């Protein structure tokens, strides 16, 4: 079962020792980078500067950052339609992300993928995916391959609680358990699958599902980046040591609509609920407050970070806005890989 | 038909002009009032009325028992719909993006399509599967496919591709009353397309192609949104003195070969348009069928224009290259008529 | 959890009252009918009189009979590639079954379905299915429809433990649980999925899987038709009363090969294991012995039943062998249903 | 090629003659020896060596780590193979019956086929999916389909249909070395077909059609087992003084249009054979492509012979009506040559 908070605390304490202030500040910066990047994405949409739609991750930053901080650069992740946070947390740079979202040539994927398909081998990002649960096979396969190739890489599979509706998830969890694969299934329960409260489409207890397949499973407060980080680190170390797969349920919330165009949300969730999470459960404010309390930072430092992040966003956006579109010939490139490239 | 067709898709102002989305909603509402066995199942179909808002208001009239929000389980709820159809219900399954049909192929192809035949006619599965198709909306490779050719290849399935609000309403009502599994493809780029739809009830039979525009110089056979593209191209061609006849099969299965072939015999030149990938797609069957029937009347081989054989890219300038547009059609038609 | 045998006993006792000897004798006959029918099918294959292959149910008779005895004629079942037993237990007649297996016109499905696709609306048989787990959606949908139409019909979904590998099973169990559908998932664990011991491809405990979706689940000795019947009756009454779906795990064993052509099995299962089940755990002998002990029958009666069943098999086979094939025109019939037929 | 082809499928007794199953097993064994990244995953592939015994002996040589028995989870293990392929392995997925591809369509079509393009060329998925096809074995509607047309319609996938042991071995080795997802369709009615296969190593390039028999009077384009049917028909036609040229594209994607069109130009009469359903199938694309390239050389429209548009029935006399056989081909060829 899920360990009681008390136990959780004790279990983590010695870990805490190993984490210095710099690393917490880094996580603070990472969460802020995601927040500001996406606020800018929303503005691009509102000002009709961005083609198509985007699914904002704002509110869930602690999950992507807490988990990815526990990973090595050569570890793998798979992401979702709501993937900007995962990509940035795994090491993507804003300029090429913006460029991809605008369909520009210097984008991570030549503008061919867009918001829902950002992929980057350099940071172990196997790709965001526009099919719900579409990447669970890929992530499990990457873990399978790491084991076969004898590396100690770990694969993290991010998905929303809506992905629990897709049968393929159970198929691959069964194999991950049978073959003790180094894969961690990170389920971000933000309470809604599109416009439907998740309890209306999900029976039973989420954690019972991975456990039914013999997979170690735990839940964590997805707004507390430190809790997410400690849990992820334990599970990653476990997987790296060959002790098999795990499932981490993160309780979280998205502040914006299902996508940038989902403005009037009152018919599926109350304004008060949104306000509560933003006011009481904001992952960035929670970490900031703790940093100040623990004297790991002062207002000055946090403001400096904010300024730097803002500058980074502006420079990255300028880069993307000025970048060229791919040339017409590119439409027929990359349909098939030939030994030559890349 | 023809008079209605003439006023289609730009209805004379006196007539009732509504959007494709409204026409589909009307068809569903009318059939649900008419037959208590009809129900809708899919993701976010109730309060949300789907992301395209096509089903808006239906749950208010028919309640959550007949407009059912399902988990993200395309295979599961399609399978449930097949079982419900076999035992007395008439499910209308909502597949938000046609790309997700890949998840329900076993239920559609191995179960629904074959149960009537495998049981020697003893079971039947009257189920309608509504799915979207079409590119140009910047939704990238996994939300822009037009996979209707797959289903047209499978005996036991019927395949419908409406190109106007008028056709959409009449064909959907027929689909719901049909005793077989019907794939009904809605082009998501056309939901706001407006057209004439009479207030009186009507249905449109399957297997009857519709001549959307008459012409003598060449025949353009087109499906779904490509019909609109063809009509636009036809207007420009007319300015060049080329009168194109635009023929819409409306249903790929059953296919009205006769009307296609007659038009081909009349004009001697044929251009086939479809938004699915060109290779091994719908344009191949239509070209082959027309050639088989009108070979000795053709001045030139049938010209095919499908989507490029590439995954649909996100980048706008690239995506716009992948599907036929009026420019491409005009160019192809001029070349076909030796006016290049 | 699974009730201890002791509890099981007590729970069932009062039920036992309600079952008279005639009904047990009927179940004995039903199991024997399946056994003899299939022995004949095997002979047809061995003597090259039957086209294609068949998957014999012999050894598992108590599951089909125990479950179907708890059903009404208008209740639904879905079956599998190993479906002859389910079809007979639900009320199919041998002559039209043989005819179907031989591809003859009077077969249940005009010979178009064959061994893996026997379907019969008259007995609520929605059809055997050659896709593993291919019918779980259909069975759940039939229960869905029964609920919608306001009948009190129940649907039983038979499948082998191998079907636990198919994701769609979890998708439909989730909905059956959410919507409290009158469906009973009957999992026949005969220890092998084709030529592979089931533990090699299945992680965790089987019963934990339905339970993770909030579905009531129990296990029963699949060789003891009385135990199967009592369990099934309870679960069927429960479902009929609107108390929702259930999962019944039946431990059983197939005596023959995966299909009639699977003769040399030594590489995947030991001869001794086969012998043990045939000698010690045969469902027909177990019930026969009990009937004699309880004085519900004597040797004479059981022999009479055996003679009658043998005669039934012979007559049915003669009927099928003499039956005509469908005429060529039928190949193009039933591709599409028209309002007219049937 | 041609000499090898001539000795194919009936190898001169002096040559090494093996079955299709053996040829496939040899290709797999050779590539697994050559490249440690190659592994096999599927149902009952290890000790059982699949129900068709095609993989017999491989687990003994390569061990259970490289010949992996998976649960009955086609979507799951295909997805795992895609992820493994993206990260340095070369999986060969075994889909026991091609009918089960319906369960893995999302993994194949939305993931494997598109990941290279969607990532702007940054990821690739070198995966081979071996699946069976073909009817006439009394396996009924869910175990007899030939669904290769679906995959040929999807950009990003390559599609291979070998018709002889020689081609099967050479093409499978090429498929395993290819950096793209390849669908490799094996006709289950041909596993025991024998043919010449040299002892020396060789590969066969994709996109090169093979002329299995030369002739001047008509061209028969055929795939998979239909090539054997065409060759048998050609012998009978020869007795009637009709010399048929039999052309096997061998790979549908990429397609060697040039060779097909040249043969069509030479003979002026074309018959296209494929075991998939005729409508909206492979015969349509081949007929359209040939007509586009050889229209002015054709004496008559290309004739198509695919499987009937009905689910495959179990009853032997009915099943035998559904797929083209030498009699049907001879009749169609005679009619085409005005000798009916
Ligand atoms: C297979 C599939 N079905 C439906 C969709 C449409 N869709 C996109 S996101 C979404 C909801 C996903 O909810 P969840 O997994 O909880 O992720 P969240 O959006 O909450 O982050 C749906 C239904 C899809 N992309 N893929
Ligand atoms: C989707 C699918 N995959 C594979 C097969 C091939 N196949 C037929 S039966 C079988 C094993 C089924 O095992 P189980 O479910 O335990 O039933 P049993 O044969 O033991 O009765 C397999 C793999 C199939 N029919 N369908
Ligand atoms: Mg969610
Ligand atoms: Mg089994």
Where do the H-state alpha helices sit in chain B? 2-6, 20-34, 58-62, 74-86, 105, 115-118, 148-152, 165-177, 225-239, 257-267, 282-294, 316-322, 326-336
User: How far, in Å, CA of B85 to CA of B103, rounded?
Assistant: 19
Q: Which residues of C touch B126 (CB under 8 A)?
A: 337
CA D100 / ligand 4 centre spacing (Å): 18
Ligand 2 site, residue C82, Cβ cutoff 6 A: yes
d(CA B91, CA B82): 8
Kindly identify the ligand whose nearest atom is closest to the C-alpha of A159: 1
Cβ contact D121–A342 (<8 Å):
yes
CB pairs under 8 A between A and C: 74
Residue with tokens 């993937």: A83
Q: Which residue of A has its CA nearest to C199?
A: A178
ipTM above 0.90, yes or no: yes
Q: How far is D69 from chain C (nearest CA, A)?
A: 8
**DSSP bridge partners of A180:** none
- DSSP reduced 3-state for A197: strand
Query: In this complex, do D84 and A337 lie within 8 Å of one another by their Cβ atoms?
Result: no
Is the pLDDT reported for residue C3 higher than 50?
Answer: no
Which ligand has the minimum distance to the alpha carbon of residue A262?
1
**D99 to chain B nearest CA, in Å?**
8
Query: Is the Cβ pair A126, D83 closer than 8 Å?
Result: yes
3-state secondary structure of A318: helix
The catalytically annotated residue of B116, B143, B148, B277 is B143
Chain B touched by D203 (CB under 8 Å): no
Residue D339: per-residue pLDDT: 87
Q: How far is the CA of C268 from the centre of ligand 4 (A)?
A: 13
Kindly list the residues of chain C whose beta carbon comes within 8 Å of any beta carbon in chain D: 51-53, 103-104, 110-117, 129-134, 162-167, 193-196, 200-202, 267-268, 325-326, 328, 330-332, 335
Of A107, A127, A145, the CB nearest to D123: A127
Query: What is the predicted pLDDT for the residue at A339?
Result: 72
**Across the interface, do C203 and A178 touch by the CB < 8 Å criterion?**
yes
Query: Per-residue confidence at B11, pLDDT binned at 50, 70, 90?
Result: very low
Q: How far is the CA of A106 from the centre of ligand 3 (A)?
A: 31
End-to-end CA distance of chain B: 35
Mean pLDDT of C312-318: 98
**Of the candidates B73, B76, B138, which has its C-beta nearest A51's C-beta?**
B138
Residue A103 has a pLDDT of: 98
Query: Chains that contact B by 3+ CB pairs under 8 Å?
Result: A, C, D
CB B280 to CB D252 under 8 A? yes
- Does residue B2 carry a pLDDT above 50? no
Structure tokens at D126: 């070198």
Closest Cα to atom 5 of ligand 1: A132
How far is the alpha carbon of B252 from chain C, nearest alpha carbon, in Å? 15
Q: Given an 8 Å threshold on Cβ–Cβ distance, is C212 in contact with A212?
A: yes
| Residue B186, pLDDT score | 98
The pLDDT-based confidence of D15 (bands split at 50, 70, 90) is confident
Ligand 2 binding pocket includes C160 (Cβ within 6 Å): yes
Residue C9's pLDDT band (boundaries 50, 70, 90)?
very low
Q: How many CA atoms, within 13 angstroms, populate the side-chain half-sphere of residue B45?
A: 28
| Ligand closest to the CA atom of residue C132 | 2
Is this structure's pTM higher than 0.90?
yes
Assess whether the C-beta atom of A162 lies below 6 angstroms from ligand 1: yes
Closest CA to D196 of D6, D1, D29, D15: D15
Q: What was the pLDDT predicted at C11?
A: 45
B102 Cβ partners below 8 Å, 6+ apart?
Answer: B147, D105, D106, D109, D110
* Dihedral (Cα; D273, D279, D282, D284), 10-degree rounding: 90
Kindly tell me if the per-residue pLDDT of B216 is higher than 90. yes
- How far apart, in whole angstroms, are the C-alpha atoms of residue D319 and residue B294? 32
CA gap D41, D93 in Å, rounded: 5
pLDDT at C36 over 50: yes
- Ligand 2, residues C133, C169, C193, C202: which to mutate, most atoms within 8 A of Cβ? C193
Q: Which DSSP category does A274 fall into?
A: H
Q: What pLDDT is stored for residue A57 in this prediction?
A: 98
Cα–Cα nearest to D112, from B111, A276, A138: A138
Cβ within 8 Å of residue A157, ≥6 positions away: A77, A78, A135, A136, A139, A140, A183, A184, A185, A186
Closest C-alpha to ligand 1, atom 10 = A194
Q: How many residues in chain A?
A: 342
DSSP letters, B180-194, are S-EEEEEETTSTT-E
Give the pLDDT confidence score for residue A9 in this predicted structure. Answer: 43
User: Nearest Cβ partner of A51 from B141, B142, B316?
Assistant: B316
Q: Could you report the per-residue pLDDT of B133-175, keeping only the tens digit for each?
A: 999 999 999 999 999 999 999 999 999 999 999 999 999 999 9
Contacts of D75 in chain A (CB under 8 A): 137, 167-168, 171
What is the residue-averaged pLDDT of chain C? 94
| A138, B76, B129, B319, C189 from B101: Cα distances, Å | 20, 12, 10, 22, 32
Among D80, D156, D180, beta carbon nearest to A144 = D80
User: Could you identify the atom of ligand 1 that is nearest to the CA of residue A192?
Assistant: 20
Beta-bridge partner residues of D244: D218
Tell me whether residues C113 and B155 touch, CB distance under 8 A. no
The finding on whether C222 has its CB within 6 A of some atom of ligand 2 is no
Confidence at residue A69, expressed as pLDDT on a 0 to 100 scale: 98
Q: Are B71 and A111 an interchain contact pair (Cβ–Cβ within 8 Å)?
A: no
C131: Cβ below 6 Å to ligand 2?
yes
Query: Is the CB of A79 within 6 Å of ligand 1?
Result: no
| DSSP 3-state of D15 | coil
Task: Reply yes or no on whether the pLDDT at C8 is more than 70.
Answer: no
Distances in whole angstroms, Cα of residue D171 to Cα of each of D57, D195, D196? 21, 15, 15
State mean pLDDT over B10-37. Answer: 88
Residue C199 pLDDT > 90: yes
Q: For residue range D320-334, list pLDDT tens digits in order.
A: 999 999 999 999 999
Sequence-distant (≥ 6) Cβ neighbours of residue C4 within 8 angstroms: none
Percent of chain D beyond pLDDT 90? 95
Q: Is the peptide bond before D9 cis (omega within 30 degrees of 0)?
A: yes
Ligand 2 atom nearest C189 alpha carbon: 16
Pick from B109, B118, B313: which is nearest to D102 by CB? B109
Whether the Cβ atoms of residue B217 and residue B186 lie closer than 8 Å to each other: no
Q: Residue D190 — φ and ψ, nearest 5°?
A: -115, 0
Buried b / exposed e over D215-239, threshold 16 CB at 10 Å, is bebbbbbbbbbbbbbbbebbebbee
Q: How would residue B15 be classed by pLDDT, with cut points 50, 70 and 90?
A: confident
Segments of chain A with pLDDT less than 70: 1-17, 340-342
Q: Which helix (H) or strand (E) holds D101?
A: none
Chain B neighbours among D 159-188 (CB < 8 Å)? Answer: none
| pLDDT tens digit sequence for D117-165 | 999 999 999 999 999 999 999 999 999 999 999 999 999 999 999 999 9
Say how many Å lie between the CA of residue A132 and the centre of ligand 1: 5
The answer to whether B314 and B140 have CB atoms below 8 angstroms apart is yes
pLDDT in tens, A79-94: 999 999 999 999 999 9
Query: With 90 as the cut, is the pLDDT of residue C2 above it?
Result: no
Task: Give CA–CA dist D122/A284, Å, rounded.
Answer: 33
Q: Quick check: B12 pLDDT over 90?
A: no
**Listed residue (A302, D295, B168, B120) closest to C108, CA to CA:** B120
Q: Is D153 a catalytic residue?
A: no
Chain C residues closer than 8 Å to D313 by CB: 111-112, 331
Looking at residue C120, the DSSP 8-state letter turns out to be B
* Minimum-distance CB partner of B155 among D140, D277, D302: D277
Give the residue from chain A lying closest to D126, CA to CA.
A337
| pLDDT at position B8 | 45
| B46-101 pLDDT per residue, tens | 999 999 999 999 999 999 999 999 999 999 999 999 999 999 999 999 999 999 99
Which residues have C-beta under 5 Å from ligand 3, the single-atom ion?
A 160-161, 190, 193
Average pLDDT for residues C108-134, to the nearest whole number? 98
Contact A283 CB / ligand 1 (< 6 Å): no
Q: Does B288 touch chain D (CB under 8 A)?
A: yes
State pLDDT tens for residues C50-92.
Answer: 999 999 999 999 999 999 999 999 999 999 999 999 999 999 9
**From the CB of B231, is ligand 1 less than 6 Å away?**
no
Q: What is the reported pLDDT for A340?
A: 52
Q: Is the pLDDT of residue B239 over 90?
A: yes
- Contact predicate D133/D186, CB 8 Å: yes
Is the CB–ligand 1 distance for residue A132 below 6 Å?
A: yes
Determine the average pLDDT of the residues in C201-225: 98
Write down which chains contact chain D via at least 3 CB pairs under 8 A: A, B, C
pLDDT (0 to 100) of residue B339: 87
């Amino acid at each position: 079962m899920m360990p009681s908070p008390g136990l959780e605390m004790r279990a983590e304490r010695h870990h805490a020792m190993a984490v210095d202030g710099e690393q917490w500040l880094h996580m603070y910066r990472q969460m802020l980078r995601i927040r500001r990047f996406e606020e800018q994405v929303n503005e691009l949409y509102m000002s009709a500067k961005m083609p198509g739609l985007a699914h904002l991750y704002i509110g869930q930053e602690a999950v992507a950052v807490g988990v990815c901080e526990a990973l090595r650069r050569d570890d793998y992740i798979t992401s979702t339609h709501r993937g900007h946070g995962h990509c940035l947390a795994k090491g993507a740079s804003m300029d090429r992300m913006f460029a991809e979202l605008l369909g520009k040539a210097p984008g991570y994927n030549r503008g061919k993928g867009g918001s829902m398909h950002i992929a980057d081998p350099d940071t172990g990002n196997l790709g965001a995916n526009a099919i719900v649960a579409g990447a669970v096979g890929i992530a499990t396969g990457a873990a399978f391959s790491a084991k076969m190739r004898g590396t100690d890489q770990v694969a993290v599979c991010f998905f929303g609680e809506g992905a629990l509706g897709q049968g393929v998830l159970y198929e691959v969890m069964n194999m991950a358990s049978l073959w003790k694969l180094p894969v961690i299934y990170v389920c971000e329960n933000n309470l809604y699958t599109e416009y439907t409260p998740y309890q209306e489409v999900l029976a039973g207890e989420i954690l019972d599902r991975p456990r039914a397949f013999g997979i170690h499973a735990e839940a964590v407060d997805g707004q507390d980046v430190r809790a997410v980080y400690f849990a992820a680190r334990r599970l990653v170390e476990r997987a790296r040591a060959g002790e098999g797969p795990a499932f981490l349920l993160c309780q979280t919330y998205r502040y914006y609509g299902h996508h940038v165009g989902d403005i009037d949300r009152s018919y599926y969730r109350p304004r008060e609920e949104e306000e509560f999470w933003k006011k009481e459960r904001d992952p960035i404010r929670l970490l900031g407050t703790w940093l100040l309390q623990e004297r790991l930072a002062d207002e000055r430092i946090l403001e400096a970070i904010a300024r730097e992040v803002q500058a980074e966003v502006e420079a990255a956006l300028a880069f993307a806005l000025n970048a060229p579109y791919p040339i017409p010939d590119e439409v027929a490139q990359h349909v098939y890989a030939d030994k030559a490239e890349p | 038909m023809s008079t209605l067709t003439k006023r289609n898709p730009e209805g004379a102002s006196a007539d009732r002009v509504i959007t494709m989305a409204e026409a589909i909603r009307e068809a569903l509402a009318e059939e649900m009032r008419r037959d208590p066995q009809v129900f809708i199942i899919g993701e976010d179909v109730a309060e949300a009325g789907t992301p395209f808002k096509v089903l808006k208001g239906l749950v208010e009239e028919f309640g959550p028992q007949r407009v059912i929000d399902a988990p993200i389980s395309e295979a599961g709820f399609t399978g449930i719909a097949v079982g419900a159809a076999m035992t007395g219900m008439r499910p209308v399954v909502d597949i938000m993006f046609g790309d997700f049909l890949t998840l329900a192929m076993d239920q559609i192809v191995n179960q629904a399509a074959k149960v009537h035949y495998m049981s020697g006619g003893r079971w039947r599965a009257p189920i309608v599967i509504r799915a979207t198709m079409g590119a140009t909306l910047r939704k990238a490779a996994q939300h822009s496919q037009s996979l209707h050719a797959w289903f047209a290849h499978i005996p036991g399935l019927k395949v419908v591709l409406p190109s106007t609000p008028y056709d959409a309403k009449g064909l959907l009502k027929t689909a719901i009353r049909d005793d077989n599994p019907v794939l009904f493809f809605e082009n998501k780029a056309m939901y706001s397309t407006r057209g004439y739809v009479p207030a009186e009830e009507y249905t449109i039979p399957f297997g009857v192609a519709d001549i959307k525009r008459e012409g003598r110089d060449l025949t353009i056979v087109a499906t779904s949104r490509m019909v609109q593209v063809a009509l636009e191209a036809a207007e420009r061609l007319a300015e060049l003195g080329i009168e194109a006849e635009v023929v819409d099969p409306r249903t790929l299965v059953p296919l009205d070969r006769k009307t296609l072939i007659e038009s081909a015999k009349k004009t001697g030149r044929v251009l086939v348009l479809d938004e699915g990938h060109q290779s091994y797609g719908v344009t191949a069957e239509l070209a082959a069928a027309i050639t088989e029937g009108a070979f000795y009347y053709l001045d030139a081989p049938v010209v095919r224009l499908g989507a490029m054989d590439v995954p649909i890219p996100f980048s706008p300038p690239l995506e716009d290259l992948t599907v036929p547009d009026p420019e491409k059609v005009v160019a192809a038609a001029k070349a076909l008529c030796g006016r290049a």
